[in-house]
Amino acid sequence: MSARISELPGWARLGLLAGLATLAVASLEFGSLARKGSRVFPPPLQRGIPPALTRFSLAAALGDEARIAADWGYIDCLQYLAGPYANDGWWGQTLPLYREVQWLDPGFKHAIREGISALGWLYRRPEEAGQLARIAMATDPGEVRYAAYIAALAYQKHLDTQGVIKALEPELNRPDAPEMLLRMVGNLMLKQGDDRRAMGYWAWVQSRAREQDTQDMAAKTIKDLRRRLAAGGR
């Protein structure tokens, strides 16, 4: 596995950041806006230290620079999810990476919700997703949105697709819902076989998408659904 950005020398970080800028800008924008109104949390060292915490993050916490380290850590997450690391246990470091961001800055809620979404529906590890969600909720009990994820993950364990979608409906309608989550719910709808409902959902996703990946997926899915409906799909 390649080194994390946060562990590279400064000169090396700049080149990698240039390549990741397009992917990260929308997510960091949402995260920054959300953090402006977030409550103040106790310093990270007053909470339980996650396993495999990097020296970079520990030093940042000791130096009162935890929020800056959380930004670097989040870019590490994006770099990792975009990389070919299936040989490490199907992106097996996803939980430790997002857990480190959550430990550094519980107010970085967009990143935390994205991590829960990736674990729960992209990599289908609801136990790990639930672990991240429960830690986040225990640290920030006033953030009621985590409850929707926990409820949806409970339905996921029972293979109740409609229950997952229903539990996540309030979250999907929020302007800062992770687009990864929007795409995953769209895929769940496709599996249900209701092409007309899926068409309406993906058209809605396309109208609000900010990320190119989401726009491309919506356009392709809508094209496929139109073809199926024209052929007599339901």
Please write the tens of the pLDDT for every residue from 139-173: 998 888 999 999 999 998 888 999 999 999 999 99
Give the C-alpha separation, 188 to 122, whole Å: 11
The pLDDT-based confidence of 27 (bands split at 50, 70, 90) is low
The answer to whether the CB of 1 falls within 8 A of the CB of 93 is yes
pLDDT at 36: 54
pLDDT recorded at residue 42: 82
pLDDT band at residue 38 using 50, 70 and 90 as cut-offs: low
Of all residues in the chain, the percent with pLDDT exceeding 70 is 80
Of residues 187 and 33, more confidently modeled: 187
Quick one: tokens of 123? 């990599």
- 90 pLDDT band (50/70/90 cuts)? confident
Q: What is the pLDDT of residue 32?
A: 54
Taking only the tens place, the pLDDT of each residue in 42-64 is 888 888 889 888 999 999 999 98
Q: Which amino acid is at 139?
A: T
- Other C-beta atoms within 10 Å of 102: how many? 27
> Is residue 24's pLDDT more than 50?
no
Alpha helices in 118-178 (DSSP H): 126-139, 145-157, 161-172
Segment among 10-24, 134-148, 169-183 with least mean pLDDT: 10-24
DSSP symbol at 50: P
47 DSSP 8-state letter: S
DSSP code, position 46: G
This prediction's pTM = 0.75
Q: Supply the mean pLDDT for the chain.
A: 83
Question: Mean of the pLDDT values across residues 197-204?
Answer: 95
Residue 160 tokens, joined: 């109740």
Q: How far apart are CA 81 and CA 118, in angstroms?
A: 9
Q: How many CA atoms within 13 Å lie on the side-chain side of 216? A: 4
Structure tokens at 47: 């909470």
Amino acid making up residue 209: A
